Amino acid sequence: MGWAISKTKSVICVGKAQCIKRVKMAERCVFCRIVAGEIPADIVYQDEDLLAFRDIMPQAPTHVLIIPKTHITSVAELTERQANLVGRLIIVARNLAKKEGVAGKGYRLAINCGPEGGQVVPHLHLHLLGGRQMDAKLG
């Protein structure tokens, strides 16, 4: 069971029955739809595996979401093999902070996980927030 990127760049499932359910979830996911180009987004970076775009309801002058192009529901679903992907999410966020001109004064990176963690969109994403003083209190 697993995932693959087809030649047309759509996410396809290379496994069996259990996978079909996952494909349907991924099809409905708003961030998967942004990856597929079905929903417009202000894209600021992309490579083969990652996409970064501006948050639709920014909570700071700079508010960018960095996501894996493949559907991963949350941190809770990550496997050890995806550790490198997560590391690259952070490196891309760091590079974007420089590009956005917020690196000098500092910025916040945040990942919400699950309902009590404040996660609303069930597709792993890293928030890059900058351009204003962040609250000292988290939560």
In the complex with ligand 5GP, the residue whose CB is nearer, 14 or 77, is: 77
Closest contact distance (angstroms) between CB of 58 and ligand 5GP is: 8
Across the strands, what pairs with 106? none
Nearest to 51 by CA among 20, 80, 9: 9
Task: List contacts with ligand 5GP (CB under 6 A).
Answer: 30, 39, 41, 53, 55-57, 65, 112, 118-121
Closest contact distance (angstroms) between CB of 64 and ligand 5GP is: 9
DSSP element (H, E) containing 22: helix 17-28
Q: Which does 52 bind (CB under 5 to 8 A by kind): Zn ion, ligand 5GP, none?
A: none
Across the strands, what pairs with 54? 64
In the complex with Zn ion, the residue whose CB is nearer, 63 or 71, is: 71
Are the beta carbons of 5 and 14 closer than 8 angstroms?
no
Closest contact distance (angstroms) between CB of 16 and ligand 5GP is: 30
Q: Both tokens of residue 2? A: 């697993």
Find the residue with minimal CB distance to Zn ion. 29
Backbone phi, then psi, for 77, in 5-degree steps?
A: -95, -5
